[in-house]
């Protein structure tokens, strides 16, 4: 209940900070792109609209996750609201999890509205394909993971550094499959071990990216979906545990 109270307050803050106005930008982009493309006679118009739609859902989501996420904890300390909050009967872990859940709630609403606009455009054009929902679901899992990275960094660092770290992690996360290839190519046991080690430890965000398959109307196998979901949630849980452990020892100066 206390976690939910903090989550609800975080959600309220995001709403009253007008973060969801970003959605308006998304809707305009989506409808605009679809109208603009319909003027052209490109054969793969449908794929382009779906591609733009899924990519912007992911991009807008990640932008909110990172830039709101890194300020979430920092702002509470900077503005000293944390003094009265933490002196109430709550654990620091409840504070972190509450802030996290609040932002995830914002992201969920954000994603739901963007998906609705996207689907409306598709339905209107007669291009609707419900398999896209699977790709959007995994995008949501990815956002949960990225938010956890942002919270972890912001539990000990400043927003600017945390954004840098989180963006770096996000990019590496989408390229980490390359480490596997590199492990096969490099010479020497140590180098191989390092490549393999980082491949295992860093998040593999490509596992959660089924957007390309969905755009091309390919099946998203259930087992793969389930594995990716489980992977994303487990990774998130570990990141949150680390964030709580770091935050527990922190001095609020």
Partner 1 sequence: MSVPQPVLEIAGLRKSYKGHLSIGRREVIKGLDLTIQPGEVFGLLGQNGSGKTTTLKMILSLIFPDAGRISLFGTDYRSVAHRHRIGFLPENPWFYEYLTGREFLDFYGQLFGYGRAERSARAEAVLARVGMSDRAGLPLRKYSKGMLQRIGMAQALINDPEFVILDEPMSGLDPIGRREFRDIILDLKRRGRTIFFSSHILSDAEAICDRVGILKDGRIGVEGRLADLLSPAVRSWEVMYAGPPFAQLMSVAAGGDGGCQLLSDRGPESLVAVHDEKVLSKLLDSIRTQGGRLISVSARRETLEDLYVKEVSGR
> Which residue carries 């590199």 as its tokens?
182
DSSP for 11-40, written as a single string: HHHHHHTTTTHHHHHHHHHHHHHHHHHHHS
* 161 interacts with partner 1 by CB under 8 A: no
Q: How far is the CB of 95 from partner 1 (least distance, A)?
A: 10
The correct pick among 40, 41, 43, 89 for binding partner 1 (CB under 8 A) is 89
The correct pick among 40, 41, 87, 222 for binding partner 1 (CB under 8 A) is 87
* 2 interacts with partner 1 by CB under 8 A: yes
233 by DSSP, 3-state: which? helix
**C-alpha distances out from residue 187 to 175, 192, 201, Å:** 21, 7, 21
Cα distance between residue 104 and residue 110, in whole Å: 10
Decide whether 155 or 166 has the Cβ nearer to partner 1: 155
The correct pick among 81, 124, 133, 234 for binding partner 1 (CB under 8 A) is 81
The correct pick among 21, 41, 84, 223 for binding partner 1 (CB under 8 A) is 84
* 201 interacts with partner 1 by CB under 8 A: no
Nearest to 37 by CA among 29, 47, 27, 45: 45
The correct pick among 31, 85, 108, 220 for binding partner 1 (CB under 8 A) is 85
* 41 interacts with partner 1 by CB under 8 A: no
The region of 43-51, 74-82, 210-218, 237-245 touching partner 1 under the rule CB under 8 A is 74-82
Cα distance between residue 232 and residue 141, in whole Å: 6
Pick out residues in 231-250 that bind partner 1 (CB under 8 A): 249
* 252 interacts with partner 1 by CB under 8 A: yes
The correct pick among 43, 88, 130, 222 for binding partner 1 (CB under 8 A) is 88
- List all residues 6 or more positions away from 85 whose beta carbon is below 8 Å from its beta carbon: 6, 76, 95
Cα distance between residue 3 and residue 98, in whole Å: 4
The correct pick among 41, 43, 79, 222 for binding partner 1 (CB under 8 A) is 79
The region of 12-20, 182-190, 197-205, 228-236 touching partner 1 under the rule CB under 8 A is 12-20
Q: How far is the CB of 60 from partner 1 (least distance, A)?
A: 22
Nearest to 143 by CA among 115, 122, 121, 116: 115
- List all residues 6 or more positions away from 231 whose beta carbon is below 8 Å from its beta carbon: 204, 207, 208
Residues that bind partner 1 (CB under 8 A): 1-2, 5-6, 9, 12-13, 16-17, 79-91, 249, 251-253
């Amino acid at each position: 209940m206390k976690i939910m109270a903090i989550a609800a307050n975080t959600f309220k803050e995001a709403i009253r900070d007008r973060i969801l106005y970003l959605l308006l930008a998304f809707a305009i982009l989506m409808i605009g792109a679809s109208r603009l493309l319909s003027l052209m006679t490109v054969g793969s118009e449908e794929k382009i609209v779906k591609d733009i739609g899924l990519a912007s859902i992911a991009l807008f989501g990640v932008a909110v996750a990172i830039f709101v996420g890194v300020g979430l904890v920092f702002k509470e300390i900077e503005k000293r609201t944390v003094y009265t909050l933490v002196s109430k009967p709550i654990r620091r872990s409840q504070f972190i999890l509450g802030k996290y859940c609040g932002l995830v709630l914002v992201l969920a609403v954000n994603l739901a509205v963007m998906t609705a606009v996207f689907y409306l455009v598709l339905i209107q054009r007669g291009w609707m394909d419900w398999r896209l929902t699977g790709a959007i679901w995994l995008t949501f899992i990815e956002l949960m993971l990225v938010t956890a990275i942002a919270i972890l960094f912001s539990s000990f660092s400043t927003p600017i550094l945390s954004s840098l770290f989180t963006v770096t992690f996000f990019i590496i996360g989408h390229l980490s499959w390359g480490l596997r290839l590199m492990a096969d190519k490099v010479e020497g046991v140590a180098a191989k071990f390092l490549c393999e080690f980082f491949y295992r430890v860093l998040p593999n965000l490509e596992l959660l990216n089924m957007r390309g398959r969905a755009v091309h109307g390919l099946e998203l196998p259930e087992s793969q979906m389930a594995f990716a979901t489980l992977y994303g949630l487990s990774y998130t849980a570990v990141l949150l545990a680390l964030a709580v452990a770091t935050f527990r020892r922190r001095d609020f100066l």
